[in-house]
Structure 1
């Protein structure tokens, strides 16, 4: 049979033994760019400064040319998290400068929920009592829009050794921010990597105008702090923020126009030293908990389209009922080939021991063609 042309399929359905794993990621960011470069290269004042390599832009204002986010060598790691240990990471240096953002692949609105998981490490070197927010949800794609919701705040006090960091959340500006406290906890150690998961329910339009909707806002923001990646979504979040009198991210404007939704992620710079220095990595955005936090072994024993594979000690063993594959190519998430070779029908083994830990695309070709995401640890 004539060999088919090989085409990499970047999005596939992965079928685990217990059922189907269909990750619908709206954004996946591991900062796998050259260490030492700014997140946004050659930024200038009063521009969106879109970076064609990283895909990040800046808010268009007088400070958009002041770089304060840099790619640093090495990723953040968190045991069991699928976004752990991949690529590099980005560090905010504490300056009052540009506010970078990256858009999701779709807008989430009108009775829908978005999940955002990421790794973060806060510096404990300086006291930050103001507790400004350091990350938020961008409501509109425009670089001139200043509407952000889903805000996470952080304060740092080095006096409390091992519990220096306090977190808070607020679904939008105004209202009262919900902070961890002595009754709820947890207070977090600085200079330690933490896994945070935002769950944001985007409510419906209540009424037919801004006046009718006022007082009936129904968005709900939840925050999970260091959840166990091997377990499903916890029944109770560590923090929750809901206020019917506080505007939603998807709502009527006073003009009568419907605006907003969960459109992207925004990294906020400090204002007058009110936000701590931090390092962030492993951002995953999806529509379900399972999208952003699949079980740690869910990409190790998988049946994908037309074949299955098993990973053990960085040896990938491929099998199929009819083994019609003669060669393979492993690419990283940027589409770059990192390993290739021939497959033998009697073994189907691939030695990936020289690869760094991370997520790759395994592409097979021969009389059939197939591909699947695969994790190497």
Structure 2
């Protein structure tokens, strides 16, 4: 009896070791251990061939190789920022990335995959699994994105739910007004937030038909913030908190959005809201092409909430360059107290000095007495 038991245990151990060995062999030859080539192409005949391992996501491999692709959602296919042009057929869209492409992009993809027409197609790099050699195209602006460190030097309250935060970069940082940076979130903030509020977030997702994806420890999370000034020695951006459930505001006990999964189109995170002066942070950038044209032109700016940040930078650039073309600035908020008073005096000053500039506040939840004309 004892002998049979020992023999049985031995057989089980041998089977487990055999399965582990086969798993490792499969991993090395067909999984992440498979040695592959990634060709990166860009403007001005740029080409670089990288040695990579198969089985991972394209976004991760590019970031690990020093190519800082914008990915505000942390690679969860919710922000749509990590689009990369593929020169190799890597399959069509996954269900989660399809909504991020319009009909024209889908038709270009179909023509390339089914008819072999065109020089490539675009996908979200966070959804591309690498199982063979491939070539991609990255614009020159992406190649210029680098990692930086900075220190928080000032935190100024603007309204009850918005702060202006200023950073002192440790390295020279060049950008064009209208661009944005991605700030790395400390893992402990997001993890603690999900431990505390995960059930409430899950319930709201179920009520609204949203997919709840729990936070995965160890994933680098970056959040995008537009630069709100033209100064390059001090970076300024605006942070705003918002409740995951618009029916229950934060001041009434609502749960703030933190990410990586966000119910709104923008991601609000407690980690940025709670930054202290003196904190050291890491960021990548610059990103984006929301910039003024060089030639003379009329302009209409529309902003609201934290989306005011890039418009602040573009307005500063407009007047610092002495432009005199017609410009309209529509600022949408709920009530007067949601308009940052810190900036109003500058806008009204510009309006008096430059007849072609008009500041037009739009209040969606105005009470009696909230009359925009009073700003004059």
Q: Shorter-chain-normalised TM-score: which range?
A: under 0.3
Higher strand share: 1
Higher helix share: 2
Greater CA radius of gyration, 1 or 2?
Answer: 2
TM-score, L = length of structure 2: 0.22
Q: Which has the higher contact order (CA 8 A, sep 6+)?
A: 1
Instruction: Give the TM-score normalised by the residue count of structure 1.
Output: 0.22
